[in-house]
Amino acid sequence: MQNDQLALAQTRGSVDPRVKRPLPAWVSTTALLLPTYGWLTIAIFLPLLTMLAFSFMSATPMGKTPVEFTLKQYRAFIDQPYLLRIGFNSLMMGFWTTLFCAILGFLAAVALVRATVGKTRETLLVLILLPFWTNGLVRVFSWTMVLRENGFLDNILHMVAPDAGSISILYTRYAVVLGLVHGYLPYMILTCYIALVTIDDAIIEAAASLGARWWTILYKILIPMAAPGLISGAVLIFIPVIGSFMEPRILGGRVGVTMGTVIEDQFTQAFNWPLGASLSFTLLAVVLAIFATFSGVLRGRTAG
């Protein structure tokens, strides 16, 4: 009996060196996340930190002017009041673009979910994604052929009414918004489609069987349940639109001066990187403040 207990104790105390111990959970998690966060650090965070440091400099460090750290670049909106007007125009451009994308994108997503199935739906989704497969510069310049005087729209109008005048809207804010809506509309359609496709058809059928009209179903069921998709699409559109410079410069001409074009000029024409960086971070702060306020309102409504 004593020999059996001694043998059992020796067996418990010994560890087979050939058996590998499992790694801690944090090791495997770190190994999986490290490539992603490493790439984000190199490609996004480090450039942003560099631009943030530039925004506090008195001059571009690559030049011969002595560099000092200062806050004067962030006084640009006070020292140059015209920037306030440009910033307001950029925010309004982003607002109208996001609004039109929300209306058109939501209705298109509803049509996709409720009126198509199978291969028809897949084909339409591919057609929606087609703008992403073409160069953005080509898309914008194609609009100049449509919107300019004696362009595509004018030719169609003159075929119907030969004595009619020109309806050219090129080099106007309407043309800028139209080009931006065309470029960013797929974002809203896809986010709304993802939100709407998860809604159970039984909910809509039950509402219809209880006598709900189509507009009641739209405002009481579809829009509230698709709100996450609408908000996601608004974020994806509003932030890049207010900083866009290609569409305003090509389609807007002299009236297409936005914060995006001003910032681009500071980096490429004036070679004033500190001012361009400070304008970028100021615009980013304004956008974050807007969305923070908006999210607070949404949380308040949800709690109520």
Q: Which CATH class is domain 80-303?
A: mainly alpha
Please report which confidence band the pLDDT of residue 6 belongs to, taking 50, 70 and 90 as the band edges: very low
pTM of the model: 0.81
d(CA 202, CA 162): 53
pLDDT digit string, tens, across residues 83-128: 999 999 999 999 999 999 999 999 999 888 877 777 888 888 888 8
Question: At residue 265, does pLDDT exceed 50?
Answer: yes
Q: Which of 130, 113, 131 is nearest to 121 (CA)?
A: 113
User: Is the predicted pLDDT of residue 4 greater than 60, yes or no?
Assistant: no
Q: What pLDDT is attached to residue 179?
A: 92
Task: Kindly state the average pLDDT of the residues 224-250.
Answer: 89
pLDDT tens digits along 145-193:
888 888 888 888 888 887 777 778 888 899 999 999 998 999 999 999 9
Cβ-proximal residues to 190 (8 Å cutoff; 6+ apart), any chain: 109, 128, 233
Average pLDDT over residues 54-83: 86
Helix (H) or strand (E) holding 5: helix 2-13
The amino acid present at 191, given as its one-letter code, is T
Alpha-carbon distance 173 to 252, whole Å? 6
Question: pLDDT higher for 23 or 114?
Answer: 114
Residue with the larger pLDDT of the pair 201 and 294:
201
Residue 7 has pLDDT above 90, yes or no: no
Give Cα 93 distance to the centre of its chain. Answer: 14
Give the confidence band of 5 by pLDDT, cuts at 50, 70, 90: low
Domain boundaries, the chain: 18-55, 80-303
Q: How far apart are CA 290 and CA 130, in angstroms?
A: 32
Could you read off the pLDDT of 32-56 as tens digits, one per residue? 888 888 888 888 888 889 899 989 9
pLDDT above 70 as % of the chain: 89
